[in-house]
Structure 1
Amino acid sequence: MSRMTLEAAPSAPVPPPPRWAVLAAHLTALVVLPSGLWRIALVLGHPAGYTEAGFEPFSTVDAKIWMLTLSLVSELVALLTIGLVRPWGEVVPHWIPLIGGRRVRPLAAILPAALGAAGLTLIWVTVPFWWTHPHADLTATGNLVVGILYQPLFLWGPLTAAVTLSYHRRHRVRRRG
């Protein structure tokens, strides 16, 4: 491989993200937070709305590791959306070994973000209907609180899609007329 293929080709400057996209990117981290904090309460031993019998399965070490991991990974994935409106979404930070300083190919950001947005939308599309399904393991108050804490997840996919579309528009190749 020649040295030329490893170096980034000069490109036209990318316009800054619109204000709405920056706001939407930051909101992605916030919409994931309430459900994650609820799961962390479970990990710390608070029944968080569950009946005594309903809480029992969450008191095992495996369940606690799963809930903590799910909460942390969800938040980290949501934070990645911010990369679509920040410089590190265009050039890999220098401190990252092997690839630091290299330009991010737009498709390498757009494809996973778009697939993630579609998947998240499908996963959370039923959240607004939380109260239509009985939750026998939750108290009445717990059902209300958990329903409220999970409602923001409905926005995670659409917000990610909107920010991804903005990133795509800013990075698309301009054809010469």
Structure 2
Amino acid sequence: MGPAAAGWSSIYGVLGLAWSAGAPGFPFGHEHDRYGETISVLDPVTRSGAAPVVAVLGLFGALVAGALTRVATRAAIAVAWVYAVGLTFVLPDYRPLIRVAYTPMLLIGEVGFAEMYPWPVLNQMLCIGGGLLWAGTAVVATRRRRSSCTSCGRADAAEGTDGRLAAARWGRVATYVAVGVPLIYCLTRWAWALGIPLGVSREFLRAGEADTPGIWLIGAMLGTLGAGGAVLTLGLIQRWGEIYPRWIPGLRGKTVRPRTAIVPATLVAIMVTTAGLMYVRITVLGQLPGEFRENVATVGPELFWPLWGIALGAATYAYHLRRRPACRVCGRS
């Protein structure tokens, strides 16, 4: 993880130098990210002011990540966590989540890839990937400092058994929270598609349909996608999340690989959390348009998304603890 984080940071350090020199592709600030107004935390920045900062942070990060591969100091680990949290949860807004949700439109030819994933959005996704590399670097360095296995984190054989038993308890609670929270959003969007002004005024529904025909149907489709994700979340505590059920041709009775559930659940947890934090930020700062402030259900459910993301992340981690096999490095189980 350390060399990978160092490489990622080096690339952005070089890009920062290039952008400082006038190279195209700077992805931050309202002059270069035309859809980032208000929603992007970096919307106020300019190329001349921010590009050198990107260069310094990238090159400094490469040095820290490289150092963590040799010596795991508390200060370096703290820096790694700052990079991880900043890149994963602070810098992105809700666009990575929305674009992933709308990706099926690419398959039916409604929009092109460049329109669906413009460079500022792709950059946010790359930053999330870099944040995950930094988180992995911090975790491995912390394990090395504690003299535990750098691969699995176990320090003794009993830790694996105790961890599975505890995960079965708190993981169930986290799963139910991760299932319940998105249903609030789903109910509002289904209601609007049916013409029911749940949490909004009837005038707001009419105006939305007049300005963008079919907008509430699209909202209902997103709500249905969220409900489907909530149902799949139950697999983290159900038997069919470990053994494929009989109604799945070709896979029935086979063991579900843990990463088949862990990877997508982790990515959704991250994107939901970043989107929710954006809604919290613009609400607290009073940056919501008046029509949204007056119709609480337009953003009210999204304010709970950080709780959804945290709960889903915890449920996914509990699933990992319950299902992880004996470590190939240290042999502990």
Per the shorter chain, which TM-score range? 0.7 to 0.9
| Alpha-carbon separation, structure 2, partners of 1:103 and 1:54 | 46
Deviations 1:11-57 (A, max 9, x none): xxxx5652221121121121011222111221122344247367422
The answer on 1:32 being equivalent to 2:182 is yes
Q: Match for residue 6 of structure 1? A: none
Partner amino acid, structure 1, of 2:192 = L
Q: 1:55 to 1:139 in 2, by over 3 A?
A: farther
Measured after TM superposition, the shift of residue 90 of structure 1 is 0.4
Match of 2:260 among 108, 111, 135: 108
Partner SS state of residue 248, structure 2: coil
Partner amino acid, structure 1, of 2:233 = T
Contact 2:277 2:303 (8 Å CA) reproduced: no
Partner SS state of residue 125, structure 1: helix
| Alpha-carbon separation, structure 2, partners of 1:118 and 1:81 | 15
Measured after TM superposition, the shift of residue 146 of structure 1 is 4.2
Measured after TM superposition, the shift of residue 61 of structure 1 is 5.5
Contact 1:55 1:137 (8 Å CA) reproduced: no
The answer on 1:156 being equivalent to 2:284 is no
Measured after TM superposition, the shift of residue 167 of structure 1 is 1.0
Q: 1:54 to 1:95 in 2, by over 3 A?
A: closer
Match of 2:290 among 98, 121, 136: 136
Match of 1:65 among 201, 205, 217: 217
Q: 1:172 to 1:54 in 2, by over 3 A?
A: same
Partner SS state of residue 45, structure 1: coil
| Alpha-carbon separation, structure 1, partners of 2:280 and 2:230 | 20
Partner amino acid, structure 2, of 1:34 = I
Query: Where does structure 2 lack aligned partners over 5 or more consecutive residues?
Result: 1-163
The answer on 1:78 being equivalent to 2:244 is no
Measured after TM superposition, the shift of residue 147 of structure 1 is 4.2
**Equivalent residues in 2 for 1:116-127, closer than 5 Å:** 116-127=268-279
Measured after TM superposition, the shift of residue 84 of structure 1 is 1.0
Partner SS state of residue 291, structure 2: coil
User: Percent of pairs identical after alignment?
Assistant: 29
Contact 1:54 1:137 (8 Å CA) reproduced: no
| Alpha-carbon separation, structure 1, partners of 2:306 and 2:189 | 17
| Alpha-carbon separation, structure 1, partners of 2:257 and 2:204 | 51
Partner SS state of residue 75, structure 1: helix
| Alpha-carbon separation, structure 2, partners of 1:161 and 1:87 | 19
| Alpha-carbon separation, structure 2, partners of 1:139 and 1:168 | 40
The answer on 1:45 being equivalent to 2:199 is no
Partner amino acid, structure 1, of 2:185 = S
Deviations 1:93-119 (A, max 9, x none): 011111111100112111111122112
Q: 1:89 to 1:53 in 2, by over 3 A?
A: closer
Q: 1:85 to 1:139 in 2, by over 3 A?
A: closer
Q: Match for residue 319 of structure 2? A: 167
Contact 2:170 2:318 (8 Å CA) reproduced: no
Match of 2:171 among 15, 21, 28: 21
Q: 1:150 to 1:97 in 2, by over 3 A?
A: same
Deviations 1:56-93 (A, max 9, x none): 22366522321111111111112211111111110000
Partner amino acid, structure 2, of 1:97 = P
TM-score w.r.t. length of structure 2: 0.44
Q: 1:138 to 1:173 in 2, by over 3 A?
A: closer
Query: Where does structure 1 lack aligned partners over 5 or more consecutive residues?
Result: 1-14
